[in-house]
Amino acid sequence: MRALIHVPVGAFNAWVLQEAPTTGVIFFAAFMIYQLDECLHIKDQAWRDIKGYLWGLAIAAYVLILL
């Protein structure tokens, strides 16, 4: 369930990367830093959130390439 919640975040990032690449890279870095910080401090298995995010990023990037 947690992975599914983060799919739209990854999809949004794919769109931002297309529209404003610098902002997209900053968004990606901020998301990863936040998730890794969460994992280090509260040990919440952030890999699940990152997995959902990456699925959303990959699917949206694929769709945007096809358009």
Number of residues in the chain? 67
Give the gyration radius of the chain's Cα atoms: 12
pTM equals 0.88
Tokens of 25: 């890279």
**Domain layout of the chain by residue ranges:** 2-66
> Within the chain, which residues score under 70 in pLDDT?
none
- Give the pLDDT of residue 21: 96
CA angle 10, 33, 57 (to 5 degrees): 15
- pLDDT at position 16: 97
Confidence (pLDDT) at 3: 84
The predicted pLDDT at position 31 comes to 95
pLDDT score of 33: 95
For the chain, count helices (H), then strands (E).
Answer: 3, 0
Half-sphere exposure of 25 (CA within 13 A, CB side): 2
Residue 20: what pLDDT?
97
